[in-house]
Amino acid sequence: MSIFLTVDTLIDKAVTAELIGKEDEVYARNRILALLKLEAYQAEGTDQSEKASIPDLLEVLTAYAVEKGIIEDLFDEKEMLSATVMDCLVARPSVINQTFAAHYKKDPKQATDYFYQLSQDSNYIQTKRISQNISYKVDSEYGELDITINLSKPEKDPKQIALEKSMPKKDQTYPQCLLCVENEGYEGRIGHPARANHRMIRLNLANESWMLQYSPYVYYNEHSIVLSETHRPMEINRAGFERLLHFVDQFPHYFAGSNADLPIVGGSILSHDHYQGGHYEFAMEKAEIDFTFSMSHHPEVGAGIVKWPMSVVRLNSGNMEALLAAAEEVLSEWRRYSDPESDVLAFTGDTPHNTITPIARMRDGKYEMDLVLRNNRTDEKHPMGIFHPHEDVHHIKKENIGLIEVMGLAVLPARLKEELGEVEKALSGEDHHVADYHLPWVGELKERYQNVTADNVSGIVKEELGKKFARVLEDAGVFKRNEQGQQAFKRFVQKFESSDR
């Protein structure tokens, strides 16, 4: 396909996706030709039989730009050109926000459907790369857990890594972080992702300016990010609970949750106040209530402990203010709560250890909030965290357990794709190159499974990987799923039943 045919086919697909109108074709073509340093144009029509997707066509354009010396053959430079090309085919933020608002007046779901589709068609959501992920469900005693081996984020090539290291250190304060609103339309640079095709929806949450966007590498349906317009650190407090409830009130088909606000148990970006949401039902949401308890100060609020490997208090009410007051009381009590028998200490000196991972949703016309109790203490035996994946599961998962994992979706490293293939070979009695850190696991599986065949080995490894993830979550639970742990959990929630507190 010639360069002109590629450009026109890309524009035709943009028109079909309603990113631009027919009257925008000449303008869009000229802007793209300028990016490719093409001063002339030869009409060749479009290839209507061409099945190449927008990402495929962008790859052709970036390959042309590399060949002609317009950009270097570096990942970040190719990303910047692709995003800038798509920026020529995407409306400005004001237009997108007006369109979103018009859809919202009819139906909130119609509005998010529009914006989610646009974010995919604009190549901001990396659909082609996401399709490479390995995803499946595994049964567990806690319900169906989601397993994802993340292959969508491409590794940088050695040339780019060397370039980044050799570049002089600059005080790069714009944008301040990867989540700041200033990323909208930002060209990008070496070491900072291209965002020329990035768009955000403006929201009002509890009388504050917030933004809605989707994750470029969605881990579940309509994986969204809700971020403060102001760059400020994350903090779990009543105001945050209120914003979460306001969000699900505005978008009742979505959940919204926050990572915790302390290292080890928090998310990867604690410097910018933000939440994650989406249109997906996780295993934790489906989990049953183990037992209920009352909150003497909040008679309008239903309360219970969830049957889940992590320690979850579930509150619900038709009254937002009542639910907020109850959630604030649980947070306040947990911040100062210690139970040495369970290794839970609220403070070491002045250093706090207790916080909460909150998740809000609407259920049967009521507000519901799950409060997942977190503690980030370490000790000599568990230097990465007492309530963190323990060393014997690090061969599967050693990273922090954030909001997504808390709810029952494992985001596992790309290395496992090849490594699990070697585990399958070892179980099948074939020659293999199993990594040393998987060998104890392979030994356990060989003892447990005597009749491994080519037909069942993959299923065995998937099921056992799911069991490992359940163990990861159990490690992160502050009150364990045994009699002693559950009695300790009950002691904590009994504090809310007393009216003389």
Q: Is the full-model pTM beyond 0.85?
A: yes
Q: Look at residue 365 and tell me whether its pLDDT is greater than 80.
A: yes
User: DSSP code of 339?
Assistant: B
The rounded mean pLDDT for the chain is 94
Look at 50-59, 62-71, 210-219 and tell me which has the smallest mean pLDDT: 50-59
Q: Look at residue 461 and tell me whether its pLDDT is greater than 60.
A: yes
Residue 335 and residue 349 in contact, taking contact as beta carbons nearer than 8 Å: no
Percent of residues in the chain assigned helix, strand, coil, to nearest 5: 40, 20, 45
User: Whole-angstrom Cα distance, residue 308 to residue 315?
Assistant: 15
Write down the pLDDT at residue 44. Answer: 82
For residues 40-52, average pLDDT: 77
Write down the pLDDT at residue 11. Answer: 96
Q: Look at residue 484 and tell me whether its pLDDT is greater than 80.
A: yes
Write down the pLDDT at residue 269. Answer: 85
What band does 266 get if pLDDT is binned at 50, 70 and 90? confident
- Cβ of 223: how many Cβ atoms within 10 Å? 21
| pLDDT, tens only, 181-231 | 999 999 999 989 999 999 999 999 999 999 999 999 999 999 999 999 999
Q: Look at residue 501 and tell me whether its pLDDT is greater than 60.
A: no
Segment holding 148, helix H or strand E: strand 143-149
User: Whole-angstrom Cα distance, residue 389 to residue 470?
Assistant: 10
What band does 254 get if pLDDT is binned at 50, 70 and 90? very high
User: DSSP code of 183?
Assistant: G
User: DSSP code of 114?
Assistant: H
What band does 170 get if pLDDT is binned at 50, 70 and 90? low
| pLDDT, tens only, 368-397 | 999 999 999 999 999 999 999 999 999 999
What band does 265 get if pLDDT is binned at 50, 70 and 90? very high
Q: Look at residue 477 and tell me whether its pLDDT is greater than 90.
A: yes
User: Whole-angstrom Cα distance, residue 276 to residue 214?
Assistant: 9
For residues 340-346, average pLDDT: 96
Write down the pLDDT at residue 438. Answer: 98
Q: Look at residue 160 and tell me whether its pLDDT is greater than 80.
A: no
Distances (CA, A) of 8 to 5, 79, 367: 5, 20, 49
- The number of helices, as runs of H, and strands, as runs of E, in the chain is 16, 15
Q: How many CA atoms lie within 13 A of 149 on its CB side?
A: 15
Write down the pLDDT at residue 207. Answer: 97
For residues 143-160, average pLDDT: 82
Q: Look at residue 152 and tell me whether its pLDDT is greater than 90.
A: no
Residue 276 and residue 403 in contact, taking contact as beta carbons nearer than 8 Å: yes
Q: Look at residue 500 and tell me whether its pLDDT is greater than 60.
A: no
What band does 411 get if pLDDT is binned at 50, 70 and 90? very high
Q: Look at residue 84 and tell me whether its pLDDT is greater than 60.
A: yes
